[in-house]
Amino acid sequence: MRGKLNLFQAMMLRWRELHPYIAVHMVGIAHTLDAPRLRAHLEQRLEAAGLTGLSVDHRRKRFEFRGGPAAVELTILPGSEDPAEVAREEIERQLNTPFPHEGAFTPFRFFAIDGVTTFQLGLAYDHFIAGGDSIVVLLEKLVAGYGPPAVAPAALWTPRRYPRTYGRLFLHELGYAVRGLRHLRSMAASCRRSCRAPCRTDRPATNAFLSFRLEPSEFAVLLGAAKDWGVTLNDLCLAILLQSLARVVPRQPGTTRRHELGVASIVNLRRGFESDPSDTFGQFLASLRISHPVPPGVALRELASAVHARTERIKREKLYLQTLLGLAWTGFAWRFLTPERRRRFFAKHYAIWSGMTSLNVDPLWHTAPGSALPREYTRAVPTGPVAPMVFAITTFRGAMHLGVSFRTADVSRETAGRVATTFLDQTRNLVCSQQQ
């Protein structure tokens, strides 16, 4: 059986032609590492899930899982005095190592960082094939049953692999889609008011990665502030991101041209397909875009409220359908663009400085017999040609992990670190003010 890629997946496949478009999830395992047994365990479960032998028809944007042996690629890394640095280096290597473009292959790679009594298990995957929620469920199913040999193995997982594309969504939401067309002009105007991010085509689009953590006590206060202000956690984080970017993005105050900052946030449309990540493997993504002048001295609460007003309208009127329509148009125009113009296309016409993707692991991770609940969950998301930075916010066991990916051709490690640390400082300043 063959499936058809949806609009967002098809665009990811095009981005993949410019540079590896790979995401990484990493989770702590509360058992000792037995590499041969782990490899056999992963191969058995991937093969049973039917997620092997992936073949892609680039021209028709169709894919097929042909099955067969998994042939898992598992890299074993010894522990060290600085396991966080080992993890960062390996995540960066995985982000920049392409999967095969032709023939049948398994779209997953694994690595393990030995910690003597525990270890970190990482999964790198070709991002067009799945969203983050599917990968969380996949990792949980892969980990299930890996423990002491005396523990009975958990049941195998066989998800549905060929979910519906967006055609049915547009038919069901036809009124919203048609009414949303008139907003394309306002979105284009907003992009013209926004600062363009750098996009150099004379250097490799290499991705680098930084990792930070917000402790449960701090994260609880952040959630409380969002609730008190009547905004979502994602709204509040977008506002903090805008303030953090304002520290490094050069602008001309008082001018009417390119005086705003634009950011984008991933929207998961899975509910619109009545699809549960526990039984359907795939991707149902769209995005929304927010821009704001971010004047000096603007209060975080005021900015978060402005972001919330915009995101609520987008959700209420389902204006994220604009993005999907824009992707359809871009897919048509893509064939007429040179590789260099493809790299610059989004930076020129869809001005954003950073993307953000939020994922709550807790409702997706169900501890199985013999598999202790992990303590940590780390996520790294590729930048692609859309934005030079991406913030991946992952909440798990009451804590928040912040993974920052950035294109080294356009953003230095120093600049990315400054934006990320400003983000954390703003967050902790908010925590301190709420606790007083």
Going by pLDDT thresholds of 50, 70 and 90, the confidence category of residue 112 is very high
Residue 148 in this model has a pLDDT that exceeds 70:
no
Which positions ≥6 away from 22 have C-beta within 8 Å? 94, 95, 96, 97, 98, 99, 124, 125, 126, 127, 382
- The pLDDT value recorded for residue 150 is 47
The confidence score (pLDDT) of residue 116 equals 82
Query: What is the pLDDT at residue 379?
Result: 97
Q: Does pLDDT of 305 surpass 60?
A: yes
In angstroms, the Cα distances linking 279 to 45, 264, 369 are: 15, 29, 19
Over residues 330-381, the pLDDT tens digits come to: 999 999 999 999 999 999 999 999 999 999 999 999 865 555 567 789 999 9
pLDDT of residue 151 exceeding 80: no
Answer whether residue 88 shows pLDDT above 50. yes
Domain boundaries, the chain: 2-143, 179-435
Query: What is the dotted CATH code of the domain comprising 179-435?
Result: 3.30.559.30
Q: Which long-range contacts (CB under 8 A, 24 or more apart) does 295-302 make?
A: 295/253, 296/246, 296/253, 298/243, 300/239, 300/240, 300/243, 300/426, 300/430, 301/229
The number of beta carbons lying within 10 Å of the beta carbon of residue 156 is 13
pLDDT in tens, 174-229: 898 888 888 888 888 999 999 999 999 888 999 999 999 999 999 999 999 999 99
pTM, rounded to two decimals: 0.94
Domain 2-143 superfamily per CATH: Chloramphenicol acetyltransferase-like domain (3.30.559.10)
Residue range 11-42, pLDDT digits in tens: 999 999 999 999 999 999 888 899 999 999 99
Of the pLDDT bands very low, low, confident and very high (cuts 50, 70, 90), residue 153 is low
